[in-house]
Structure 1
Amino acid sequence: MLLTPRAGSPRRKTRRRVTAALLASAASVCLVAAGTPAAPLGIGDRLFPYLGNPGYDVAAYDLALTYGGDNTKPLKAVTTIDAWTTAPLERVNLDFAEGRVDSVEVDGEPARFTTAGEDLVVTPPRRLPEGSWMRITVRHTSDPTPEGDRDGGWVRTSDGLAMANQADVAHLVFPCNDHPSDKAMFTFRITAPDGYTAVANGLPAGEERSARSTTWTYRTRHPMATELAQVSIGHSAVLHRTGPHGLPLRDVVPAADRAGLERWLKKTPEQIAWMESKVGAFPFETYGLLMADADTGFELETQTMSLFEKDVFTEPAYPEWYVESIMVHELSHQWFGDSVSPRTWSDLWLNEGHATWYEELYAQEKAHKPMETRMKAAYAASDRWRAAGGPPARPRAPEPGRKISIFRANVYDGAALVLYALRQKIGKPAFERLERAWVQNHRDGTATTADFVELASHLTGRDLGGFFRAWLYGEKTPPMPGHPDWTSVAPGKTAHG
């Protein structure tokens, strides 16, 4: 995710609880003794403790959505979840915080359900033993117009809808295990009236036309975190081209703007080739840009199809080199954040620090904007960023009502500064070997800060634990290797004291 620069105060987000036609209320919480009340669960993420749920591992989602042509009205939806149980379950908690739940089935049989906090709590007809396969089918609505503002979930565009589910809002759209540590395969089936085009992550897997509507099916070929799911519905043009090694590329733009946006879209193949020269082969089955006529306040690396505000490409105040660097920021996330996903949200610096790094490196190589200049400025501000947002690998919790507020400077330029310091310490050749090994070793998986530290130490034959502890967790910014003259201004002080 990259925040779009603009004036104005931050928006606040509120949540509605699920409204459910309750079939029963007495049940047992999964992993808790029978007879206890339903309760919201979580996997204990330091920043989002109630995200995710224990006791199962999702293998696949099948999400069917029916759009009626009005982006102010709820969509009819059926979400099917295939998962393995990792513990005996009396109940199954799903993250789901908006929409009406009409019915739930477990393995084809009706199941009771209730709500607790932002969880949909399902009671199967019988206890599920550890190591068993289960299929949960939820018939529900998916509401694009909740009470109050929010920072994601469904995004209403001028002609339809798109998704922006980072960091913790996929469960405002569909029931899920909404944490990046539980990646899964996805199938999307989107039905929309004639005149609309629907596109989703992955590759097309068929179209079925009826008298007045079309159903599009898309499937991913690689596992995906829920926060990276994307569905676009609108009066869109889908433009196709070929990337390196025959990679199929598709861009989704408002049909009326296709000609004016082409000069930007045609840059993607070269940008992919540039990234491949740095870190290796593109990790997915396709890529492209979704340019939405919407006001989101950010750009987002949804897997295989990055979401951008259309205005980023039409605003004359943005220099061309800057727009291209934003494109590379989201593209690099396909390796760092999408293919290699964070095990916890405290590992966010691995996503945003790397994306910022390659954004800056591209600007240096293609537009002669020295990375060292930006890094020196980041170093000067680093102590202030750490005081305001925490060290890069231990960011402060989000502000109340603003979950998106974890995306602070400390995990962007502050984290890129850590990578710069690392390259200064171990040298450019070793750093480049580390980058390639990181995305190769953890492809299609999740990884932690400790994994990165371990790999860096292993590849260099040096114990880098102390270096990383200081740079990733220290309240003060350590001295920059090779630049002893660089200084950081502490909060409440000026550059002269």
Structure 2
Amino acid sequence: MAAAVPSPQPLGIGDTLFPHLGNPGYDVLAYDISFTYHGDNTKPLDAVTRIDARVTERLERVNLDFTHGTVRAVRVNGLPAEFASSGEDLVIEPAEPVDEGAPLSISVAHTSDPSGPEAAGGWVRTADGLAMANQADAAHRVFPGNDHPADKAYFTFRITAPKELTAVANGRRVARATLGENRTWLYRTAQPMATELAQVSIGRSTVVERTGPHGLPLRDVVPTADAQLLEPWLERTPGHLEWMERQVGRYPFETYGLLLADAHTGFALETQTLSLFERSMFTNGDFPKWYIDSVMVHELAHHWFGNSVSPRTWSDLWLNEGHATWYEALYAEETAKQPLEQRMRNAYTASDGWRAAGGPPAAPKPPAPGQKISLFRPVVYDGSALVLYALRQEIGKDAFQRLERRWVTEHAHGTASTADFVALASEVAGRDLSTFLRGWLYGEKTPAMPGHPDWRSKAPAKTPAKTPAEARTKALTTSPAKAPKEAMDAAVKR
């Protein structure tokens, strides 16, 4: 008698923070995703996701990350395939096993459901349509795929919606066609992208175009009624780009812009080539103008640190957020007289408490059950920028700037790990920095700060750390000029 085929099971690639995220056995090369939006942002969209991949080990089954949608049909290499759901995986059984090295083409007809708690991520319902916020593990609430930043791929989006609406997605628009009452928009990325950075916006929007450094095409997506109101903020982006290019080199993508959504998210997000912000952040006066300006730089900086150079595992998140926070703080010092050293001293004072609550920067504690975004704690923001400050103190400003430029150049459009950063820092410095950085990245206690032997970190607080939602409430009920830095961070950026 032949052995029974095991029942479908969710798999993963071994990420310590998200054990079932990602899938073994294949490397996705490209996604081609079609969405049909029927004008009601509470109802499921019809969708087809096509995946082209390369098989890295013989597969009798193929697992995709997917939940919160109905699968109607699956084809593998042109043939109908059996499928079943297990946990948050779609488990596919091809008609024939697929051998190592062979091409793999998967087509999934499904729905994409914007209903449910928005705190879980995925689709975000706006006042007039939809946008996406998929970080950290919510892209598979929108479309099936290999939902881990270690497997980046090229994306094509085909969005059909009522013709009075505007659809925008990552990358550049390459086609648009109207048929009857509907219009279809086609967008394509020129560089690979992690699934968590996918963005599709549908609504009554205006696309404001301008030119950035080196002729870079810029496009902002704003509620049509607010285009003039928001222009003073939108026109700041070319200057932000010029400033970042002076720090680390040329912008790494084919376009950039802001998506200002009329929605309640509690954060901004660096979705690739089109950063997501709440419209209200720019209109309701809750935060100082210099702070909003620096947060715009934070999300832009992610396009070098996090989008182009993506984390190998989610424990490498500090490389994303620490760097974005670093350039945010540096920009605030240079343009708004907000002292970097004082901010770092404040972070040092709180660092032991942050490490106790959330783990050290490169070994964060898992997110709270049912609260995946609780991974985005103070230790990965100012607590990780503090690591970069300590490194600059140790190796000097010139070596630090060389390190930063080499990091984003040598790992451009790929993935990199904490070990890679330590190795490159050591090479640039001309000496082994592994012992020095081990304490800063993995220590339970914050090491002594080079050049500041008088700095002290307080004992951990007795009260538990606030969740992002709790911190946001505190920020928005406090005078903006006096709002605690930690609360403002949690309120407005990822």
TM-score range, shorter chain: over 0.9
Q: Which residue of 1 aligns with 2:241?
A: 272
The unaligned stretches of length 5 or more in structure 2 are 464-494
* 1:444-459 matched pairs, under 5 angstroms: 444-459=413-428
Is 2:405 the counterpart of 1:399?
no
Q: Which residue of 1 aligns with 2:114?
A: 144
TM-score (norm 2): 0.92
Kept in 2, the 8 Å contact 1:94–1:121? The answer is yes
Q: Which residue of 2 aligns with 1:159?
A: 128
Q: Which residue of 2 aligns with 1:329?
A: 298
Is 2:302 the counterpart of 1:360?
no
Q: Which residue of 1 aligns with 2:95?
A: 125
Kept in 2, the 8 Å contact 1:151–1:296? The answer is no
- Offset, 1:492: 4.8
Is 2:131 the counterpart of 1:173?
no
Question: CA 1:360–1:492 in 2, change beyond 3 Å: closer, same or farther?
Answer: closer
State the alpha-carbon separation in 2 of the partners of residues 76 and 114 from structure 1: 19
Kept in 1, the 8 Å contact 2:163–2:178? The answer is no
1:347-402 CA distances to partner (integer Å, 9 max, x unpaired)? 00000000000000000000111100100000000000000000000000000000
State percent identity of aligned pairs.
67
Q: Which residue of 1 aligns with 2:45?
A: 75
> What secondary structure sits across from 1:51 in the alignment?
coil
Question: CA 1:373–1:40 in 2, change beyond 3 Å: closer, same or farther?
Answer: same
Q: Look up the equivalent residue of 1:49 and give its one-letter code.
A: P
1:378-436 CA distances to partner (integer Å, 9 max, x unpaired)? 00000000000000000000000001110000000000000000000000000000000
Question: CA 1:492–1:104 in 2, change beyond 3 Å: closer, same or farther?
Answer: closer
1:45-101 CA distances to partner (integer Å, 9 max, x unpaired)? 010010000000000000000000000000000000000000000000000011110
Is 2:251 the counterpart of 1:282?
yes
* Aligned residue pair count: 462
Which runs of 4 or more aligned residues in structure 1 lie more than 6 Å from their structure 2 counterparts after TM superposition?
none
Kept in 1, the 8 Å contact 2:356–2:444? The answer is yes
> What secondary structure sits across from 1:396 in the alignment?
coil
Q: Which residue of 2 aligns with 1:204?
A: 173
1:134-177 CA distances to partner (integer Å, 9 max, x unpaired)? 1100000000002x453310000000000000000000000000
The unaligned stretches of length 5 or more in structure 1 are 1-27
Kept in 2, the 8 Å contact 1:398–1:404? The answer is yes
Q: Look up the equivalent residue of 1:196 and give its one-letter code.
A: L
State the alpha-carbon separation in 2 of the partners of residues 317 and 476 from structure 1: 34
Is 2:286 the counterpart of 1:298?
no
Q: Look up the equivalent residue of 1:463 and give its one-letter code.
A: D
State the alpha-carbon separation in 2 of the partners of residues 454 and 297 from structure 1: 36
State the alpha-carbon separation in 1 of the partners of residues 163 and 176 from structure 2: 13
- Offset, 1:320: 1.1
> What secondary structure sits across from 1:298 in the alignment?
coil
Quote the RMSD (CA, aligned, Å): 1.2
> What secondary structure sits across from 1:329 in the alignment?
helix
1:252-295 CA distances to partner (integer Å, 9 max, x unpaired)? 00000000000000000010000000000000000000000000
State the alpha-carbon separation in 2 of the partners of residues 211 and 469 from structure 1: 62
- Offset, 1:208: 1.2
- Offset, 1:493: 8.2
Kept in 2, the 8 Å contact 1:34–1:90? The answer is no
State the alpha-carbon separation in 1 of the partners of residues 436 and 124 from structure 2: 41
State the alpha-carbon separation in 1 of the partners of residues 451 and 118 from structure 2: 46
Q: Look up the equivalent residue of 2:86 and give its one-letter code.
A: A
> What secondary structure sits across from 2:33 in the alignment?
strand
Is 2:81 the counterpart of 1:111?
yes
State the alpha-carbon separation in 2 of the partners of residues 404 and 294 from structure 1: 18
Kept in 2, the 8 Å contact 1:159–1:234? The answer is yes
Q: Which residue of 2 aligns with 1:379?
A: 348
State the alpha-carbon separation in 1 of the partners of residues 454 and 120 from structure 2: 40
> What secondary structure sits across from 1:337 in the alignment?
coil
Question: CA 1:492–1:230 in 2, change beyond 3 Å: closer, same or farther?
Answer: closer
Is 2:315 the counterpart of 1:346?
yes
